[in-house]
């Protein structure tokens, strides 16, 4: 029992260490426009609040801290940037395809269709 308790404490310390180490607090300079947006996304029923609900999949309200609202905005921005990177990457990949690549894909589809009919 004592060994189990010690092991559980070690696991908890390990988890807490990683949680604490993976979050950093960084001062963020905010313009008046930034503060207005932060207020708007925390105002129930506002267009900005509805948009953040749709984009982030969570509801912000007047009791949401500035830090939590900023984190939500960063999360939405991160997802948008990664999506743009993927779209750009797929477009580059498609542009790089040549006739040999297209012929290979057609042949692979034909073989798949032939195997499916057997």
- pLDDT tens sequence across 18-47: 555 567 788 899 999 999 999 999 999 999
The helix (H) or strand (E) run that includes residue 69 is helix 66-96
> What is the model's pTM?
0.61
Q: 19 or 51: whose pLDDT is higher?
A: 51
Q: 50 or 113: whose pLDDT is higher?
A: 50
Residue 11: what pLDDT? 74
Q: Nearest CA to 35 among 81, 80, 73, 4?
A: 73
Of 17-21, 61-65, 97-101, where does the model show the most confidence? 61-65
Please answer whether residues 60 and 52 qualify as being in contact, where contact means their C-beta atoms are separated by less than 8 angstroms. yes
Q: How far is CA 41 from CA 37, 57, 94, 115, in A?
A: 6, 13, 38, 55
- How far is it between the farthest Cα atoms of the chain? 68
- What b/e string do you get for 37-55 counting C-beta neighbours within 10 Å, with b at 16 or more? bbebbbeeeeebbeebeeb
Please answer whether residues 41 and 72 qualify as being in contact, where contact means their C-beta atoms are separated by less than 8 angstroms. yes
What is the mean pLDDT of the segment spanning 70-94?
A: 88
Q: Tokens 């395809």 belong to which residue? A: 97
Q: Nearest CA to 65 among 29, 41, 46?
A: 41
pLDDT band at 57 (very low <50, low <70, confident <90, very high): very high
Q: 56 or 108: whose pLDDT is higher?
A: 56
């Amino acid at each position: 029992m004592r060994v189990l308790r010690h092991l559980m404490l070690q696991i908890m310390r390990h988890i807490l260490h990683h949680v604490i180490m993976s979050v950093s607090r960084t001062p963020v300079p905010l313009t008046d426009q930034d503060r207005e947006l932060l207020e708007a996304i925390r105002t129930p029923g506002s267009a900005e609040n509805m948009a953040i609900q749709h984009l982030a999949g969570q509801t912000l309200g007047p009791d949401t801290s500035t830090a939590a609202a900023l984190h939500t905005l960063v999360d939405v921005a991160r997802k948008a940037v990664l999506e743009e990177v993927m779209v750009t990457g797929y477009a580059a990949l498609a542009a790089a395809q040549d006739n040999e690549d297209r012929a290979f894909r057609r042949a692979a589809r034909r073989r798949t269709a032939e195997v499916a009919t057997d």
